[in-house]
Amino acid sequence: MEQDYPRLRAQAAQEGAVIYWGDETAVKEDAHWVRGYAPRGQTPVLAVPARWATLSMISAISPQGKVAFQIVEGRIDAERFITFLTALIQDAPQKTYLVVDNLRVHHAKVVTAWLADKKDRIELAFLPPYAPESNPDEYLNRDFKTALRTGAVSTAPSV
């Protein structure tokens, strides 16, 4: 943050580029904190789905607060990451620098190959191996998951 980011910020300013911070997070239906109440001595019964679907959110946030995100079924793989990158730069009027962690997907050969001829549109910058506190998108993910957990539990209709 003290050495690399000022250089990246200066480079982006020189190129008229925008910087985004990116991250991925799993979103599960079981993320709700299920609570129930019942009279003393009786077990509370809540109707909740028995099968949990796993979704993933990939997002990016700029220092100006601009947010881009996608929610997909399953986990983030190289193909889904490329789809997100494509959408991120599709209508961008300037070059994008995306600061990401060291998830294997970010270093995948297919991602590197996809980026190779797009250096004038997008480049990745990498955080140190484990530095979630350095990524503002981690805070976006936390707020998103907190909102999910504190919201109402939705139940499937009885069949």
- The CATH number that applies at residue 126 is 3.30.420.10
Residue 154 lies in a domain: no
Residue 47 lies in a domain: no
Residue 111 lies in a domain: yes
* Cβ atoms of residues 59 and 101 within 8 Å: no
Q: How many domains does the chain have?
A: 1
Q: Look at residue 156 and tell me whether its pLDDT is greater than 60.
A: no
Q: Look at residue 31 and tell me whether its pLDDT is greater than 50.
A: no
Q: Look at residue 112 and tell me whether its pLDDT is greater than 70.
A: yes
Residue 88 lies in a domain: yes
* Cβ atoms of residues 111 and 77 within 8 Å: no
Domain residues for 88? Answer: 17-28+53-147
Residue 106 lies in a domain: yes
* Cβ atoms of residues 99 and 135 within 8 Å: yes
How many C-beta atoms lie closer than 10 Å to residue 43's C-beta?
Answer: 6
**3-state SS class at 19:** strand
Residue 157 lies in a domain: no
How confident is residue 75, by pLDDT bands cut at 50, 70 and 90? confident
